Amino acid sequence: MGAPQQEEVKGAEGNGTLDRSPTPISHAEFLLWKQRKDALAATKAAEAARKRAEDIEAGRIQLNGRELFEHEPWVFDDSRFE
């Protein structure tokens, strides 16, 4: 007896159509949201760059090729082999 009721409920909810309409926003609201999002992303990126620079100076992390070239250019000096 309980099976038909479950199927009916499953059929009503399982079809993928929910009554959610998107909330309309104005162009100005979108631009404000986008500006906040970009500012937050820039802040996070700046903080990560600052922390990486501190870690490089302290010697806590391994340098990638570009950082090695910037901080220890003598490693790439081939004049010894000429």
Polymer length of the chain: 82
Task: Give alpha helix (H) positions in the chain.
Answer: 2-13, 27-58, 65-71
CB 75 within 8 A of CB 64: no
Q: Is the pLDDT of residue 14 over 90?
A: no
Is residue 68 exposed (0-12), middle (13-18) or buried (19+ Cβ within 10 Å)? middle
Q: Can you tell me the mean pLDDT for 53-70?
A: 89
Tell which wins on pLDDT, 43 or 24. Answer: 43
47 with 40: CB under 8 angstroms?
no
Residue 4 has pLDDT above 80, yes or no: no
User: What is d(CA 82, CA 78) in angstroms, rounded to the nearest whole number?
Assistant: 7
